[in-house]
Chain A
Amino acid sequence: MMLPLKENDRPIVKKLLEAGCCARCVLRFCFLEVQSAYRQPYEDTAKELLAFINDEETNVTKDSAVQDQLTKDPPSKKIKLDTAKTDVQAEGDSALVPTVTEEGGARLVKSDVCVVCLGVLQEFCDEAYATKISEVVKAENYQFDTMVLSVSLPAQLSVREVSFLFYFDVLPYRKKSMLLDKDDVIKVKDAFKWIMQGLVSKELGGVSVFEVGVGFTHPETDSDCHFLLILWLNSFEGAHAPNFVLLPFLLFFFRKFPCPPTRPASKCVAQDVQCLHVSVFVAGRYNKFSRTLPQTPWVIDGERRMESSVEELIAAPLLSSFRAKGFNFSSSGREDVDVRTLGNGRPFALELLNPHRARFNKAEIRQLQETINQSSDKIRVRDLQIVSRDAMGHMKEGEEDKTKSYSALIWTQKAIDKDDITFLEETKELKLAQKTPLRVLHRRPLTVRERVIHTMSTRFLDAHHFHLVLRTQAGTYIKEFVHGDFGRTKPNLCDLLKTDTDILELDVEVGVRAKLFCFFILFFT
């Protein structure tokens, strides 16, 4: 194609090439936004640039028509196109770079890697590399519809870029030509994506919420940006960008870093290609029938104190079917290890990280639910469904508004009979003042919570035992209400019954609240 370069650009292009800039970076510093210019083969761009600067007599018109320079006789001063060296090998260790020699001649030489992009726009922007990337992705066997390419570059590219920009500022002829702001220079990342996004997409033939990450490092010049640390330490006063005065910064920069930057001996190293699929969210309700199962893994000092957990039992079959790497579990409230969850079950949501497979129909989800339920008799899951990310947020909503229903097995020190406990049934809206229980005080603030026990009902068992069912405000510590927690919950069951009492078993009954019911209907599709 014909590069849309103007007369004004010629000295700039020449200077850039002299400094060791590669062909595509030249286009960038010439503020060329035409994506197709970057997509054409590197060699073509290199040749065109050469031709452009070798032909000072050619007038470049405003509508960017460039005549074919290669066939004309060169004016005496320039061009010795070394034809033997015009075969650009993209796979070689160093790319051919159009270089202006000391005598003023312009030729393509088997030369250094680009001083600015360190080879990223030279070696890694062609179909060959796109094929390599695609092969890795295909081998990982992801199912996806769309894909986005992300690229991470070594930090020193920024330093080199800035160095080049200062280099311009020193030159007399760049000036107000277009009042080019450094922000108008095309970024390496953008140029890379313009070239590669299309090539990789085409190879993979997909469209999805799936990201293919390409990264580069350049160990040889990693120390280029170390000098910035000093600036960083001196300027930082918080989490904001350094607020330095420009002039001292410029002087500091020139002292610490050459303008233009030095030529590197090697090109960038391509890192392994990484694949990432957006998270998939699965929600449902769970019952817990075991009194020795924590909700999350119970690990102290690296040692597991109790086998398994609710979240691991639910997540295991999901991790393998979705072929996900990890998960985040969230639920609407939770219960202690030794408390059973009965009734309709507690709502939960599970975020599956980087799933290799994301599409499941209703039948397959039902099957997954069945697999979970058959894997253990300690838990049971229902209403399993795929939901949106918002579901995770809604999970915690309204926790405070709820009423909870509990069933407890009570032990009394004093011998009791049926009549001793009937008064509890008449007790309504009992207000409690509960100091933070000692058993959680190490991780919760010390405060007093006012809670209400709405109703109670009893079932006498024997002289020292009875069943107590309570309907309470959410957040009520039931165990502390029963045994009193050193008198720090007032009133408590010991006070009411005038005997020491303790709780032997506790179950929580989760009912269906109108709010939650609607929530699930909404996501039931």
Chain B
Amino acid sequence: LALTLSSCSFTSNRRTQTRVYIKGKNCEDQCVLQHSNRICVITLAESHPILQNGNTIKSINYQISAGCSRLQNKVSGKSKRGGQFLTELAPLCRITCTEGVEYTIYSCIRGRLLEVNEGILERPELLLEKPSTEGYIAVILPKLEESKTVTNGLLSREEYENILSKRTSSTQQGPKTEPEPC
């Protein structure tokens, strides 16, 4: 059976999509998947501590601060007015695992927040089972003029894997001395 290459899902390669990685401190790595129409999906990278060692998730909190909850983000119209504008270090949510460790998930790119994944509030196991698809964290729309540069400086798959292999082969523990990008 001849399979055509005309698949249209986001996860397939028919349309150009780029997946880039962000190295976080303490291996809290994240991933950005950018569609050819410039829309970005923020997810955890497979090396993120939350996804290791059979963790379970205690809570996911989109309330970033006293005055700001990502759940209140409402966009309207084609130009997505009203969406909170995020910079790279803007927190999206805080996730607490059962051992009590709290992790902050960051935006990693500049852009307008379109939506956060409410599905993982109802079913946190989605985040663990399908972190790259149904367990996504947020959808962000970069500015038109920044659409090509918004992933500059982020890691390609190859660079990411290099870093992963360096980590496993490294015997050193302790704080990293170089500045973290995220």
**A and B interact:** yes
Interface residues of A (CB under 8 A from B): 291, 336, 338, 409, 411, 435, 438-446, 461-462, 465, 479, 482-487, 502-506
Interface pair B78/A483, CB less than 8 Å apart:
no
Bound together, the chains give a CA A338 to CA B3 distance in angstroms of 14
- Per the 8 Å Cβ criterion, residues 6-26 of B in contact with A are 6-12, 14-15
Nearest chain B CB to A490 CB, angstrom units: 9
Nearest chain B CB to A87 CB, angstrom units: 68
Interface pair B141/A336, CB less than 8 Å apart:
no
11 pairs, CB–CB < 8 Å, chain A vs chain B: A409-B4, A438-B10, A438-B35, A441-B37, A442-B141, A443-B78, A461-B1, A462-B1, A485-B9, A487-B134, A506-B8
Interface pair A445/B7, CB less than 8 Å apart:
no
Contacts of A462 in B (CB 8 A): 1
Closest to A485 in B: B10
Interface pair A445/B35, CB less than 8 Å apart:
no
Q: Is B58 an interface residue (CB 8 A)?
A: no
Interface pair A336/B10, CB less than 8 Å apart:
no
Nearest chain A CB to B156 CB, angstrom units: 22
Q: Is B133 an interface residue (CB 8 A)?
A: yes
Nearest chain A CB to B22 CB, angstrom units: 19
Nearest chain A CB to B109 CB, angstrom units: 15
Interface pair B35/A439, CB less than 8 Å apart:
yes
Interface pair A502/B80, CB less than 8 Å apart:
no
Residue A504 contacts which of B6, B75, B76, B133 (CB distance < 8 angstroms)? B6
Q: Is B139 an interface residue (CB 8 A)?
A: yes
Interface pair A445/B77, CB less than 8 Å apart:
yes
Interface pair B6/A441, CB less than 8 Å apart:
no
Nearest chain A CB to B98 CB, angstrom units: 24
- Per the 8 Å Cβ criterion, residues 57-77 of B in contact with A are 75-77
Closest to A492 in B: B134
In the complex with contacts A291-B4, A461-B1, A487-B126, A502-B139 CB distance below 8 A = no
Contacts of A441 in B (CB 8 A): 37, 39, 114, 139, 141
Contacts of A445 in B (CB 8 A): 75-78, 80
Q: Is B115 an interface residue (CB 8 A)?
A: yes
- Per the 8 Å Cβ criterion, residues 140-175 of B in contact with A are 141
Closest to A442 in B: B37
Contacts of B37 in A (CB 8 A): 439-443
Residue A486 contacts which of B6, B8, B136 (CB distance < 8 angstroms)? B136
Interface pair B139/A438, CB less than 8 Å apart:
yes
In the complex with contacts A444-B78, A486-B41, A487-B126, A291-B136 CB distance below 8 A = no
Report B20-51 CB contacts with A as 1/0, cut-off 8 Å: 00000000000000010111010000000000
Q: Is B119 an interface residue (CB 8 A)?
A: yes
Contacts of B35 in A (CB 8 A): 438-439
Interface pair A487/B9, CB less than 8 Å apart:
no
Nearest chain A CB to B111 CB, angstrom units: 11
Residue B9 contacts which of A291, A440, A444, A479 (CB distance < 8 angstroms)? A479
- Beyond A445-B76, A483-B10, list 8 extra A-B contacts (CB 8 Å): A438-B10, A439-B10, A441-B139, A442-B38, A445-B78, A484-B133, A487-B119, A506-B6
Bound together, the chains give a CA A411 to CA B6 distance in angstroms of 12
Bound together, the chains give a CA A438 to CA B114 distance in angstroms of 11
Contacts of A503 in B (CB 8 A): 7-9
Contacts of A485 in B (CB 8 A): 9-10
Report B122-142 CB contacts with A as 1/0, cut-off 8 Å: 000010001001101001010
Closest to B40 in A: A438
Interface pair A505/B15, CB less than 8 Å apart:
no
Nearest chain A CB to B142 CB, angstrom units: 10
Interface pair A446/B133, CB less than 8 Å apart:
no
Bound together, the chains give a CA A409 to CA B10 distance in angstroms of 17
Contacts of A482 in B (CB 8 A): 9
Contacts of A446 in B (CB 8 A): 75, 80, 114-115
Nearest chain A CB to B94 CB, angstrom units: 21
Contacts of B130 in A (CB 8 A): 487
Residue B6 contacts which of A442, A483, A505 (CB distance < 8 angstroms)? A505
Bound together, the chains give a CA A443 to CA B35 distance in angstroms of 13
Bound together, the chains give a CA A445 to CA B82 distance in angstroms of 12
Interface pair B1/A336, CB less than 8 Å apart:
no
Bound together, the chains give a CA A482 to CA B10 distance in angstroms of 11
Nearest chain B CB to A245 CB, angstrom units: 39
Contacts of B117 in A (CB 8 A): 487
Nearest chain B CB to A90 CB, angstrom units: 59
Closest to A480 in B: B9
Contacts of B12 in A (CB 8 A): 502
Closest to B78 in A: A445
Bound together, the chains give a CA A487 to CA B80 distance in angstroms of 21
Interface pair B133/A486, CB less than 8 Å apart:
yes
Bound together, the chains give a CA A345 to CA B87 distance in angstroms of 48
In the complex with contacts A461-B1, A462-B1, A442-B8 CB distance below 8 A = no
Interface pair B134/A486, CB less than 8 Å apart:
yes
In the complex with contacts A443-B78, A446-B80, A486-B134, A438-B3 CB distance below 8 A = no
Bound together, the chains give a CA A504 to CA B37 distance in angstroms of 21
Bound together, the chains give a CA A446 to CA B134 distance in angstroms of 18
Bound together, the chains give a CA A282 to CA B160 distance in angstroms of 56
Contacts of B6 in A (CB 8 A): 291, 338, 504-506
Bound together, the chains give a CA A482 to CA B14 distance in angstroms of 16
In the complex with contacts A504-B3, A505-B4, A438-B41 CB distance below 8 A = yes
Bound together, the chains give a CA A237 to CA B33 distance in angstroms of 47
Interface pair B78/A338, CB less than 8 Å apart:
no
In the complex with contacts A336-B8, A338-B6, A487-B133, A438-B1 CB distance below 8 A = no
